[in-house]
Amino acid sequence: MKRMVLRLASITYAMKVSRILKRNNIMARVVKMSDIGVNTGCGYGIEIFEKDLYTVAAILRQEGLEYSVYDDNK
Amino acid sequence: MMITNSPIYLDNAATSFPKPECVISSTLDCIRHYCGNPGRSGHSLSITCAERVYECRELIARLLSYPFPERISFTHNATAALNIAIKGLVPSYSHCIITDLEHNSVIRPLIKLVSERMCRYDVFDSSLPLTRITELICPETKYIISTLQSNVTGKQIDIKILSDIAYSHNLGLIIDASQYVGHYPLLLEGLHFDAVCMPGHKALFGIQGCGALVLGEKRCDTLLEGGSGSDSFNTEMPLLPPERYEAGTLPTPSIVSLLCGVQFIMDYGIYNIQKRIDKLTERLKDLLLNIPSVHLYACENGIAAFKINKMPSEILAEMLDKYGICLRGGIHCAPLIHKKMMTEQEGLVRASLSILNKEWELDRLYSILKSI
C-alpha cells in the first residue's frame, strides 16, 4: 500500500500527531526525514498510508498544526 | 560522633530523597538499555527516548490540567526555567512586582535586568492580603513574578488571585512553582499566566538535572541557542516551543526519572499527597512547639523554620547531621524573607518534608532537639 510522509515542525509535533492519529485508529509512524531521503536539513515527520491523507489533513487542520507532504513512492 | 547508616532526611525543599524505587529502576533501565539522543537520529534508541520525553511532557500537562504538552520545555532545573522566563519575557525599562518570599532564582535574574535593561521592581509584603499587590502597580508595570510557596516559611500564594489580578490589569505573570508543584494541586487550565517554572527533582521525585518551563501563549526570547534536531539550515532557533527553549542535548535520564516520578505522584493522588503533607506538618508543628528552647518561626505546608536559643543555624544543622538528621541551616537563598524575619545574622534551620517521610522520623528529630 502506498505511503506518504508528512513533515512536522519537530520531533515533538511528530510525536503529538502520531498519538492523535493512533487515537483515531490511523496508522502513523514517526520517521526522520533524512532517513527517507528527504534532505531538508534534519527534521521529523509521520509516515501514513496514502489512503488516510485527507482524513489526516483534516485532523491536523483541526489541531492547528502545519505540515508539508512528501511522497516516498513506496 | 554518632552517624546512623540510614539518615533521617528532612531537606526535601532542597531536593527530594529518597526517590521511589520505580524512579531509580526506570532511570537505570534507560541508561542501560536505550539512552540514545532524543530528537537527533532516526534509529530505534533515539525514537524510544523521544517517546519517553514526549510522554513526560504529556504527563506533566495532565498533572497541571494544561492542554498543551508541546508548551512544556525541559530545562536543567527551575532556576534555568526562571532565567528563560524572566530574561525572555520582561521588556526593557519595565517595572515588575515580586514578593518578599522570593528565592534568588527570581531575585538575581531580575537584578541583572535592573542593571542591564533599566528595569525596576517593587517587593510586595506577603503578610498583607494578596489583593493589595495592586497598590504597587504603576503605568510601567509589566509583570508580576511570584513564588507559589516560600522555601523558608512554607507560606503559599494563591495563583488564582494572582492570575485574576494580572489579567484585569493587563500584566504578565511568571510563577515559581518549585516548592508547590507535586505537593499541592496546580491546575493551569483557564488561568492567565505566561510562565510556570518548576524543578524535576523536588516533589516531582525526578533525579537532579531536569526542570520544566510551562509557557502560555506568548513567545519568549531565547537564552541559549544551539542544535535543536530539526531545520538545521535555519541559523535561528525554532519559533515554536518546546524545541525553541531546548538547545542542545536533553537530560534524557533525568526526564525519564521525572516521567516515573510524576506517574508515582499521580498514582498516589495529588489530594492524598496534600493530606499526607498537611498531616506530617501538623505533627511536626506539635512536636516543635513542645520544646521550650525551640523558637518556631513558621511551620506550614511541609516546611518548618526554627532555631534554638541563640545558636547559629549552621551549627545546629551540623549538630543534627551528627545524629543522622539532614536539614538545612542558613539563609536558604531567600534573603528577603530572612531580612523581614530579622534572621539574617544567624539564619534558621529548615525541616522540609516529603510524603516518604515517616512519623517516627519526626519523633526522632523531637527527641534529639529536646536533648540539645
pLDDT digits (tens, 9 = 90+) for B167-215: 999 999 999 999 999 999 999 999 999 999 999 999 999 999 999 999 9
**Structure confidence at residue B310 (pLDDT):** 87
When CB atoms are compared, the residue of A10, A32, A40 closest to B238 is A10
Measure B68 CA to nearest chain A CA, in Å: 10
Residue of A10, A20, A44 for testing the chain B interface, max B β-carbons within 10 Å: A10
> Is the link from the previous residue into B7 a cis peptide, with omega within 30 of 0?
no
**Structure confidence at residue B105 (pLDDT):** 98
- The answer to whether residues A11 and B40 touch, using CB atoms and an 8 Å cutoff, is no
Q: Which residues on neighbouring strands pair with residue B99, listed in sequence order? A: B124
CB within 8 A of B215, min separation 6: which ones?
B71, B72, B73, B85, B194, B195, B241, B245
The conformation of residue B19, written as its DSSP 8-state character, comes to P
Across the interface, whether the CB atoms of B42 and A42 are under 8 A apart is answered: no
Across the interface, whether the CB atoms of B39 and A9 are under 8 A apart is answered: no
Distance of CA A36 to the CA centre of its chain: 12
Measure B56 CA to nearest chain A CA, in Å: 11
| CA torsion, ordered A27, A30, A32, A36, to nearest 10 deg | -10
Across the interface, whether the CB atoms of A32 and B42 are under 8 A apart is answered: yes
Across the interface, whether the CB atoms of A16 and B70 are under 8 A apart is answered: yes
Whether the model pTM is above 0.90: yes
B177/B196 Cα distance (integer angstroms): 7
Predicted complex: ipTM over 0.90: no
Closest CA to B59 of B162, B157, B206, B202: B206
Across the interface, whether the CB atoms of B231 and A41 are under 8 A apart is answered: yes
When CB atoms are compared, the residue of A30, A40, A42 closest to B229 is A42
Grid cell listed for A5: 510522509
When CB atoms are compared, the residue of A15, A34, A35 closest to B50 is A15
Across the interface, whether the CB atoms of A15 and B54 are under 8 A apart is answered: yes
Find the helix packing angle between B359-371 and B270-289, rounded to 10°: 20
Residue B304's alpha-carbon distances to A21, B154, B264, B333, in angstroms, are 49, 7, 25, 16
Query: Which residue of chain B is at minimal alpha-carbon distance from A44?
Result: B230
Query: Which residue of chain B is at minimal alpha-carbon distance from A31?
Result: B42
Measure A35 CA to nearest chain B CA, in Å: 7
Q: What angle do CA B96, B102, B108 make, to 5 degrees?
A: 70
Specify the amino acid at residue B121.
Answer: Y
Judged by CB atoms within 8 Å, which residues 37-66 of B form the interface with A?
Answer: 38-39, 41-42, 46-47, 50-51, 54, 57-58
- The answer to whether residues B118 and B263 touch, using CB atoms and an 8 Å cutoff, is no
The pLDDT confidence band at residue A72, using thresholds 50, 70 and 90, is: low
When CB atoms are compared, the residue of A13, A30, A31 closest to B70 is A13
pLDDT in tens, B211-227: 999 999 999 999 999 99
| CA torsion, ordered B48, B50, B54, B60, to nearest 10 deg | 90
Measure B35 CA to nearest chain A CA, in Å: 17
Measure A21 CA to nearest chain B CA, in Å: 15
DSSP per position, B115-132: HHH--EEEEE-TTS-GGG
Across the interface, whether the CB atoms of B230 and A30 are under 8 A apart is answered: no
B177/B78 Cα distance (integer angstroms): 8
- The answer to whether residues B76 and B251 touch, using CB atoms and an 8 Å cutoff, is yes
The upper half-sphere exposure of residue B201, i.e. CA atoms within 13 Å in the direction of its Cβ, equals 17
**Structure confidence at residue A40 (pLDDT):** 62
Element (H, E) at B336: helix B335-341
**Structure confidence at residue A1 (pLDDT):** 81
Across the interface, whether the CB atoms of B57 and A12 are under 8 A apart is answered: yes
Across the interface, whether the CB atoms of B39 and A41 are under 8 A apart is answered: no
Extract the runs of DSSP E, i.e. beta strands, from B168-256.
172-176, 195-199, 211-215
Give, for all 372 residues of chain B, the pLDDT tens digit: 444 568 999 999 999 999 999 999 999 999 999 999 999 988 999 999 999 999 999 999 999 999 999 999 999 999 999 999 999 999 999 999 999 999 999 999 999 999 999 999 999 999 999 999 999 999 999 999 999 999 999 999 999 999 999 999 999 999 999 999 999 999 999 999 999 999 999 999 999 999 999 999 999 999 999 999 888 888 999 999 999 999 999 999 999 999 999 999 999 999 999 999 999 999 999 999 999 999 999 999 999 999 998 899 999 999 999 999 999 999 999 999 999 999 999 999 999 999 999 999 999 999 999 998
- The answer to whether residues A7 and A40 touch, using CB atoms and an 8 Å cutoff, is yes
